[in-house]
Structure 1
């Protein structure tokens, strides 16, 4: 009987270890044919912003932008990092990686060229089950015809819980459990 219990405990520990380490290595692949998207032929960013204002209420907020030539900008500049793929001056792909800090809730991704039709794609990342931390892998955007000029993440910023907050919550729960156990032992 003891061997059976020991074997069961080992299996449970292995299962827990697998679950702990399994949830971190995902990427969301996006191409021009990925679902939950809009597209348009507006070449100017101001014109694209007008289209987005008509589509969304409340308006989308630009949180992170990476341009091939001008670098990165936005309030979540410290949270994401973009690497353009294929060639540095004529990319048809990119990887947007979460590097820490705040994440985006209700996220949307704009991929823009401007010289081809369509000139831009807007993807509803929430509908694609993106959690804000998975790497976005963009591929096959205007291959041989144009290039990605920039990518932009829109949405709402959500703070990531601080470790100290989680520690405080955990110690509070342990204190409550200990208090309850002490009370039960007195009876």
Structure 2
């Protein structure tokens, strides 16, 4: 009985850790339609309701290329767009931030402020946003999280759901699968590769309309960093199940 209970507990913990968010899903079809419209052939291989990476693996990120990372603002279907900013934050101090896009930036063209380059020098990060002055911040580590500051409502949301005051997951991350994708929706296509992620944000407290089209950005040459606690628990669950199985076999 104890072994059965332990096995059930470990299985439950493991499933909870690797499952995506059952409560939060993009509703209304607008996000899917926007990705489809930018995909050659008119249908994206990414299903926005099922293909987001798990919430416990999209909290922290790191740059994977020596040349830095580029963020491209795709679109904002939101009434707060003109006062919303986006950037990265220090994992150990969410108030230590580096802005990548401000409210006056819009998708559609680099001339609208839709491109920002992010460079890393150890634990220091700096931006090159074209017409905007370069900004630099020093973090406590080489990894970081993403944030969305909706100043019109006084709310800031983070890639780490636990930091959100409403405990709602406001960001879904979608990894490229090789589709031919038009970033600026202008008929020019390039491969949406596996080292590129689209981050789709919901800007309303508690999830609001849950359309996740309020701020949608592509970030490249980055990779999510699994949380150590998550991986330890997941590993412990697998080891525990393996141990139970081994003991059962030895008794036969």
Same fold (TM over 0.5): no
Greater helix share, structure number? 1
Task: Name the TM-score, length of structure 1 as normaliser.
Answer: 0.29
Task: Name the TM-score, length of structure 2 as normaliser.
Answer: 0.24
